[in-house]
Amino acid sequence: MGGRSNNTTAAQQNSILRIVVVGGGGVGKSALTIQFIQRYFVQDYDPTIEDSYTKQCFVDEDLCKLEILDTAGQEEFSTMREQYLRTGSGFLIVFAVTDRNSFEEVKKLHELICRIKDRDDFPIILVGNKADLENERHVARHEAEELAHRLAIPYLECSAKLRKNVDEAFFDIVRLVRKYQHDERMPVHTHDDRKLESPIKLKKKKNCRIQ
Amino acid sequence: MSCINLLYCPLVIAGELWAWITAIYFALVGKLVACCGCCRKKEDAGDVEAGIQMAPAAKAAPVAKAAGASVTDRAVATEAELEPMLGKQDQKEDHGACYAIHDETNGGQLGGESLDRRGWSATSTAGNRTTLTASVHNNMMNGRMSSSSHNLSTRLSGSSQNLNQGPTNAYGFPIVPPANNPSDSSAGSRIASIFRLRSNPLKRTKSVSKMEKSLAEANQHTLHRVDAQTPSRDSSLYAQPPARRHLSQPAREGSLRACRSHESLLSSAHSTHMIELDNENCLHPIHASIMDVPNCFRMQQTYYACRSQNERAKWMEHLRRSMNPRRDLQKRTENSLLIWILEGKGLPAKRKYYCEMTLDKTLYGKTSAKARGDNVFWGENFEFQMLPKIEEICISLFRESDSKKKKDTLIGYVIIGIDQLASKSPVERWYTVNNTQQDSSASRIASALGGKSSSQEVQSIRIKARWQSVDVLPLRVYDRLSELLTYNYLDLCQQLEPVLNVRDKEDFATSFVRVMYKQNCAVEYLADLVMAEIGKLDNDNLMFRGNTVATKSMESFMKLVASDYLEFTLRDFIMTVVACEDSCEVDPQRLGNVPSSVLEKNRALLTRYVEVAWTKIINSVHMVPKILGKVFATLRLRLEAQNRGEHAETIISSSIFLRFLCPAILSPSLFNLVAEFPSINNARNLTLIAKTLQNLANFSKFGGKEPHMEFMNTFVDREWNRMHEFLLEISTESKSVGPDKSADAIVDAGKELSLIGSYLEEVWSPLLQEKNLNKPLGEVKQVLTELAEAKRRPDHAIFHSPMVQQPSSDYENSPQQNVVPRHENVPAYRSTPPTGQATVMGRSMNRPATHLMTSDDYVLSSAFQTPSLRPARLSDETGTSSSRTSDKTTSSAEIRDDTDSDFELRDELGRGVRNRKRLPRTDASPSSSQQASSGYMSNNPSRSSYSNSSSSSPVERMAALSIANPVFGPGPSAGFSIPAEPKEIVYQKRASPPPYDPEVHQYHYQPMQVYAVPPDCQPSPRGQSVPGIASQNRLSLPRTNPRASRTSALLRPSVVNVPDDWERQGDYWRDTHQMDQYRARDEMIKNQAREIERLTRENLELKNQIMTSTKLVDSKRSDSGASEDSYDSLSSLDRPTRKSLVVLPN
């Protein structure tokens, strides 16, 4: 097992945006994702290990290919995060408005992403799911907004069940990513630069200013 | 690193001289005996007897016990070889038996591990694995330490040879079969067990009889050659314990080694295993990355390899206890470092990079070498426990050189001051790499040449680390806290759930569940917590999905108790998957445009992987730790009681699969299954495997979410029922016959309690306090205040330690005998199965311990009250023979009595008062007490004297015990002659003519005659009771080990009972009393109190008697080995120390 690293990354199309859905366990990440991709609401609550989907859609009249990674909410899988957090170009941090615990985890996830990306800001959207369960709500809207404000990220409340704000969440993140990548003067921030590249290619990354 | 080199050197030699070595090896066996017998004479009959007695015990003893005992066994066996007295027929007969047993051992070895490497090497040999064993010895840093040896067994996959170096063999062959019946007390079997040791090597060499015959000769010969410079060794080999010689002539070994190559290595390897234990810091685990051998730890300059993490944890725990038996009575600081070296960036994209981590100039870990992707990603985590206080961490970044160049290039380094990491949660950030001179110039050149590439981005490494420095107060201080937790865990957890932030939740839950585990409450705790969580949920589907205290507790618990299970189940599989670069990607979108044949191939591969993994899981059902099965079973029962039985499966599957097995498959590096973070390809494969398994565990089919996985539905369909069965099986208590012992995990209760205290301090707001004002939890505040106060107090104020000045070890081989207060008897006391546990339990339950102060822990620590400052020197030789010759022991004990009497007295008085207070309570449980005391009480006429006894310290008790133990050494005669009594024969048979000093001997044995043996014990031949002495009744071992029937006394070597065992040797206790633990605990406490009282009284008597005999102290051979043995069996504390030391060298 000498440090072999496999750089063959499947699906290396240039324009793929990698959206990662993160959040606590059972908050509806999969439901949200599947609602977005396949337009139906999954009733079962089977825990996800890691699912990935691709979808092509028009956002602001630009075609984009999305690769959406639906992740496990359990802390136990946290090392995997390392991997997908590093490769994600945009993140949806999902919590359930009915679950205080999941809300508490938001901050930690945000911090994690920022640190891994080594940026203070990154395309991230805070998503409060299960907004339909108003009577079971444990996280007030203003609390979530407050937190989002503090983290300087947008907040959306949605319901995977009612398909409320689902597309919006994903489209918004796409816009954010685009804007971010534009700002970075890196037209497409794809994961293909993970490949061993020649120095010339590395230049692209020069504008990452670190410390 | 150097040790590795050392390691291979002898290996080569060994390879060349394989045959020759084999011959030598036998000689070495003999030699080994010598070392094992270290500080006593070989001929000592007592020794032999002790050894014999120990043997069965070893069989019975799982894990640690086996290891410790086996040493003894070996020693004895070897001795026996030399003794003409031994009937040859006996031997022959035994051989047959031995073989059988041994085979059994190999077969059954999987589950019950013996802690020593010997066992391992033997096992692996049997399993046709190739084992290369090398022994290396180093001179110890200290002049006193003459030499130490360490054997590292390395499995080399490629070679087909089985090389066993002499010493290793000597160590390696005796495996004590765990399968043996512990209660087997028949003489025959005992003897057999002894011979087993011998038979194994013989079997291996396949020239049994010849070897046997020439054994003595070979011994002489080999030894002579090897030890040409140490004349004493050959002729007087057995008369003079090598260890001692080494002590007095430290230089010799060094010179020997210098001028002799392999021979000296071989010989010295087991000649001495003296380890300087003066500094706890010299002991620490070695990360696999720098040894290439997993589960190693280092002590001084010697490295020891264990077979599993759990095993290593045990070893280290026991060693630490040995080093500082007072640990739990002192303030101490536990340092640990958790560090992830995640990724590096700004590095030129060439070759591979790796990091080395040094803590204050000591290399602690190394990452694997990774090539640059967009970044260099290592993602490796390291955890170091038991660290000394360090100032800084230095991460050096290297670039792997071409294979031809020798040196890897040091790119730069990152220095992190420890103070930056002291926060409670891990600190993660990018650290800029300080370029080394050379490299920066190189990069300058590079940039000058136009390759601006690397310089564009600052070279930096992302590191996440946490330095944890926990101040642990004496365990007693935590009594109230512990009690509070024990009785109010549910309430507490529920109240804390909302206030704990997510990050702390895991830490808190981890510590909490460990404390509960330590107190034998883990099952209740988990069941209550999980049930409460289920009750709270509105949506059953969300059951066990979130990250809560309950789920975290369950997770931590599984990690704690089931690490061996995990390793056994999945390691090989993961290794296979990781070693294979083939992708089993089945997502067409990820595959892109590839022929469908590829997809088919990948599918087939994935199916195969999943099937293998699933088969492994199913087949290792028996390995699921019993206690985990118990937790599941309890949950199932409770859910069924609530008519929600259908959820049981969800809970169990969410626990074992979602929280344990699948994460382990996904991130094997986090579970220590592999060191390296899997490559992207491997990670994807593992993900797919885990996904499929999780789906199966969810009882859901693919489809909908990920259509490309649908082909796995056939598998899911087919295995559906087996999954049901699996889940049922692991949650059915009666069926889960897991290796209970091996599942025992080491928990540092003091540390965990201290951590909990600090968490509480943080989150226990006035609001919470208010809320709980008149409830049990209202105490929290007070408890915390007390803790804070105790923290401020100086150490001695917390713990009264009168004997601070005493050197600790009774193994003292050094010429100058220190008069040490020996409280080893305490441990012995513990070791008695029921009592010991009870005691422990009681202790952990806090109350008994606090008041009695005689509780195990107390005794333990106080007994050894060895200031950590004083070097405790343990020679494993001493340890080797559970029954060490007690020449010194006895004498020293006596001396000590006198010296110690003063403080003992003080101590005792205080204790006595407390005990008495305690008494009324104690009486409540007659049955248990009776059992415990049966032998004891009958023999103890002087019970009443207890209260006024001037001094009864464990020390004295011990001394008394060691002096004469009717059970083990039937009398003074034991050493010299074979008593006529048939029952005794077993033990005395081996008695060798001892060079005893008759007078001393006589004297010491006198008391023996006096004492009556407890009813179930074998009466000593001379058991006429002399009234006068009887009142002093100091000796009868049985009493000390009151409950023990003879067999148990004999068979259960206290040695084996290493500390962790005392505390949670819960078989009896747990099984019987689990359900109503509180009551059980009370009973235990009572029992404990009674016994303590009794013992104390005895001690007093003994002490008195001993005082009179002070003058005899000088005599070296005051005691027979037998008595010593008895003492050993009694003193569990002692045991661990010796035993661990002894066993380890392999």
Please say if the pLDDT value at position B944 is more than 60.
no
Q: Does A188 touch chain B (CB under 8 A)?
A: no
Residue B458 to residue A210, Cβ atoms within 8 A: yes
The answer to whether B1077 and B520 have CB atoms below 8 angstroms apart is yes
Please say if the pLDDT value at position B1058 is more than 50.
no
Q: Does A80 touch chain B (CB under 8 A)?
A: yes
> How far, in Å, are B283, B286, B658, B849 from residue B387 at the CA level?
9, 11, 33, 29
Token couple for B537? 């949920």
Distant-in-sequence, close-in-space partners of B229: CB < 8 Å, separation ≥ 6: B252, B255, B256, B259
Q: How far is A173 from chain B (nearest CA, A)?
A: 22
With respect to residue A201, please indicate whether it lies within any of the assigned structural domains: no
- Which of helix, strand or coil describes residue B147? coil
Token couple for B1056? 């084996």
- pLDDT confidence band for A91 (50 / 70 / 90): very high
Least confidently predicted of B6-15, B267-276, B296-305? B6-15
Give the span between the Cα atoms of B623 and B972, in whole angstroms. Answer: 47
Q: How far is B386 from chain A (nearest CA, A)?
A: 25
Please say if the pLDDT value at position B485 is more than 50.
yes
With respect to residue A197, please indicate whether it lies within any of the assigned structural domains: no
pLDDT of amino acid B1057: 35
Tell how strand B362-366 and strand B296-299 pair up. Answer: unpaired
Task: Give the chain B residue whose CA is nearest to the CA of A36.
Answer: B705
Distant-in-sequence, close-in-space partners of B70: CB < 8 Å, separation ≥ 6: B58, B114, B116, B118, B119, B174, B175, B176, B197, B1143
Q: What confidence tens digit (pLDDT) does each residue in B955-994 have?
A: 434 433 333 343 443 333 333 433 344 333 333 333 333 4
Q: According to DSSP H, which parts of B141-284 are helical?
A: 166-172, 187-205, 208-213, 215-226, 231-234, 242-248, 250-259, 262-271
pLDDT of amino acid B1077: 63
Strand partners, A54: A67
Residue B453 to residue A202, Cβ atoms within 8 A: yes
Q: Which amino acid is at B284?
A: H
Least confidently predicted of A79-83, B530-534, B611-615? A79-83
The mean predicted confidence, pLDDT, of chain A is 79
Please say if the pLDDT value at position A167 is more than 50.
yes
- pLDDT confidence band for B456 (50 / 70 / 90): low
The answer to whether B1040 and B45 have CB atoms below 8 angstroms apart is no
Q: Spell out which residues of chain B touch residue A193, defining contact as CB-CB under 8 Å.
A: 374
With respect to residue A71, please indicate whether it lies within any of the assigned structural domains: yes
> How far, in Å, are A1, A17, A127, B587, B988 from residue A56 at the CA level?
38, 10, 22, 16, 87
Q: Does A185 touch chain B (CB under 8 A)?
A: no
pLDDT, mean of residues B361-386 = 83
pLDDT of amino acid A99: 86
Task: Give the chain A residue whose CA is nearest to the CA of B678.
Answer: A5
The answer to whether B658 and A26 have CB atoms below 8 angstroms apart is no
CA torsion, points B826, B832, B833, B838, in degrees to nearest 10?
A: -40
Q: B13 versus B626: which is more confidently predicted?
A: B626
Residue A34 to residue B705, Cβ atoms within 8 A: yes
Task: Give the chain A residue whose CA is nearest to the CA of B585.
Answer: A10
Task: Give the chain B residue whose CA is nearest to the CA of A79.
Answer: B667
pLDDT, mean of residues B378-403 = 84
Q: What confidence tens digit (pLDDT) does each residue in B704-732 have?
A: 777 888 888 999 999 999 999 999 888 88
Token couple for B597? 């044949």
Least confidently predicted of B298-302, B341-345, B536-540, B842-846? B842-846
Tell how strand A124-129 and strand A155-157 pair up. Answer: parallel
Q: What confidence tens digit (pLDDT) does each residue in B127-180 have?
A: 333 233 333 333 333 333 333 333 333 333 333 333 333 333 333 333 333 333
With respect to residue A191, please indicate whether it lies within any of the assigned structural domains: no
CATH code of residue A75? 3.40.50.300
Residues spanned by the domain of A126:
20-184
Q: What confidence tens digit (pLDDT) does each residue in B736-777 have?
A: 454 555 457 788 888 899 998 888 888 888 888 888 777 778
Q: B536 versus B950: which is more confidently predicted?
A: B536
With respect to residue A58, please indicate whether it lies within any of the assigned structural domains: yes
User: For B456, which of A195, A198, A203 is closest by C-beta distance?
Assistant: A203
Please say if the pLDDT value at position B927 is more than 50.
no
With respect to residue A91, please indicate whether it lies within any of the assigned structural domains: yes
pLDDT of amino acid A125: 94
Please say if the pLDDT value at position B503 is more than 50.
yes
Q: Spell out which residues of chain B touch residue A46, defining contact as CB-CB under 8 Å.
A: 694-695, 698, 700
- pLDDT confidence band for B210 (50 / 70 / 90): very low
The predicted model scores a pTM of 0.57
**What radius of gyration do chain B's Cα atoms show?**
30
The mean predicted confidence, pLDDT, of chain B is 60
Residue A26 to residue B662, Cβ atoms within 8 A: no
With respect to residue A156, please indicate whether it lies within any of the assigned structural domains: yes
> How far, in Å, are A99, A136, B253 from residue A131 at the CA level?
11, 9, 77
With respect to residue A62, please indicate whether it lies within any of the assigned structural domains: yes
Q: How far is B680 from chain A (nearest CA, A)?
A: 6
Domain tally for chain A?
1
Q: What confidence tens digit (pLDDT) does each residue in B809-861 have?
A: 344 343 443 333 434 333 333 333 333 333 333 333 333 333 433 334 344 44
Give the span between the Cα atoms of B139 and B1105, in whole angstroms. Answer: 43
Please say if the pLDDT value at position B238 is more than 70.
no
pLDDT of amino acid B295: 80
pLDDT, mean of residues B274-297 = 72
Q: B769 versus B1001: which is more confidently predicted?
A: B769
Upper half-sphere CA count for residue B527 (Cβ side, 13 Å):
23
Give the span between the Cα atoms of B803 and B861, in whole angstroms. Answer: 11
Phi-psi domain of B184 (left: phi exceeds 0; alpha: psi -120 through 50; beta: other)? beta
Q: By percentage, how much of chain B surpasses pLDDT 90?
A: 5
Q: Does A150 touch chain B (CB under 8 A)?
A: no
pLDDT of amino acid A86: 81
Q: Does A79 touch chain B (CB under 8 A)?
A: yes
Q: Spell out which residues of chain A touch residue B374, defining contact as CB-CB under 8 Å.
A: 191, 193-195, 205
- pLDDT confidence band for B585 (50 / 70 / 90): confident
Q: Spell out which residues of chain A touch residue B589, defining contact as CB-CB under 8 Å.
A: 10-11, 54
Least confidently predicted of B302-311, B527-536, B1063-1072? B1063-1072
Give the span between the Cα atoms of A160 and A169, in whole angstroms. Answer: 11
**What radius of gyration do chain A's Cα atoms show?**
17
Which segment, B567-581, B668-682, B778-792, is predicted with the most confidence on average? Answer: B567-581
Please say if the pLDDT value at position A74 is more than 50.
yes
Q: What is the DSSP letter of B372?
A: B
pLDDT of amino acid B134: 32
DSSP notation for B220-255: HHHHHHHTTT-HHHHTTTTTS-HHHHHHH-HHHHHH
Q: Does A30 touch chain B (CB under 8 A)?
A: yes
